[in-house]
Amino acid sequence: VQLEESGGGLVHPGGSLRLSCTGSGFTFSAYALNWVRQAPGKGLEWVSSIFGDDNTTYYAASVKGRFTISRDISKNTLFLHLSNLRADDTAIYYCAKDQTIPPYNYGMDAWGQGTTVTVAS
Amino acid sequence: EIVMTQSPATLSVSPGERVSLSCRASQSVSSNLAWYQQKPGQAPRLLIYSASIRATGFPARFSGSWSGTDFTLTVSSLQPEDFAVYYCQQYDNWPRTFGQGTKLEIK
């Protein structure tokens, strides 16, 4: 199982960015997929998840209305569209796969190496 | 939102010692709790799930337990490679929430 993020970079406050995460070695459509971020020197913060045939999504309150999670199963790619970015969105963004197929959940057993988003003027 | 509180923030211990890390949930999460290990410059790794089941690749010196809303990660005999930051996370309810982490450092 491998996950690889891309798309990070430097963006101005109020700007937008799209992160991608390509997965391999597992049935991409079957598992819940997640974004977790880590601000510099800080702890982990769950950001968003997507799963199910109906693409059910959940968001942290801190990003709801500004970030959008989606996936392209045909390309085994997970996305996170970030908009109206703020300085406190600066972080490493990790994608992570749930260990089991919904509705069961036993933590996130595979993680990418992360992509860095810096929001600064 | 369920708040996960880890204590202490930092723990200074010597190799070979036994150590216990605490995580408390603000409400019941049943056994729907995971522990992750993160080393500097690396992504987190799933260590424990369902509060007490050790993930693949981790030795038996790591164990998890729980009682009510209190969860404990125990390392029976610390090895040099165990010094890292440990996070708990509940997945019983949305939003999934992490504790703030406990850093194990060498004394």
> Chain B residues with CB-CB distance to A under 8 A?
1, 32, 34, 36, 38, 42-46, 49-50, 53, 55-56, 85, 87, 89, 91, 94-101
Residue A23 pLDDT greater than 90, yes or no = yes
Residue-level pLDDT at A103: 81
Percentage of residues of chain B with pLDDT beyond 90: 99
Q: Do A109 and B43 touch (CB under 8 A)?
A: no
The tally of CA atoms less than 13 A away on the side-chain side of residue A39 is: 11
Q: Which residues in chain A touch residue B101, judged by CB atoms under 8 angstroms apart?
A: 43-44
Closest residue in A to B97 (Cα–Cα): A46
- Tell the burial category of A22 from Cβ atoms under 10 Å away from its Cβ (0-12, 13-18, 19+): middle
Per-residue pLDDT tens digits for B51-99: 999 999 999 999 999 999 999 999 999 999 999 999 999 999 999 999 9
Q: Do A43 and B98 touch (CB under 8 A)?
A: yes
Percentage of residues of chain A with pLDDT beyond 90: 93
> What is the overall mean pLDDT for chain A?
96
Query: What does the buried/exposed string (b/e) look like for B71-104 if buried means 16 or more CB atoms within 10 Å of the residue's CB?
Result: bbbebeebeeebbbbbbbbbbbeebbbbbbbbeb
Distances (CA, A) of B72 to A46, A71, A105, B42, B87: 21, 36, 20, 23, 11
Best probe of the A interface among B91, B93, B98, by most A CBs < 10 A, is B91
Q: Which residues in chain B touch residue A44, judged by CB atoms under 8 angstroms apart?
A: 36, 38, 44, 87, 89, 98, 101
Residue-level pLDDT at A105: 85
Residue A57 pLDDT greater than 90, yes or no = yes
Pairwise CA distance, residues A97 & A115, whole Å: 16
Q: Do A106 and B38 touch (CB under 8 A)?
A: no
Best probe of the B interface among A51, A95, A97, A105, by most B CBs < 10 A, is A105
Closest CA to A28 of A47, A7, A55: A55
Closest residue in B to A42 (Cα–Cα): B100
Residue-level pLDDT at B46: 98
Q: Which residues in chain B touch residue A2, judged by CB atoms under 8 angstroms apart?
A: none
Per-residue pLDDT tens digits for A96-110: 999 988 888 899 999
Residue-level pLDDT at A102: 83
Mean pLDDT of B8-36: 97
Residue A18 pLDDT greater than 90, yes or no = yes
Residue-level pLDDT at B39: 98
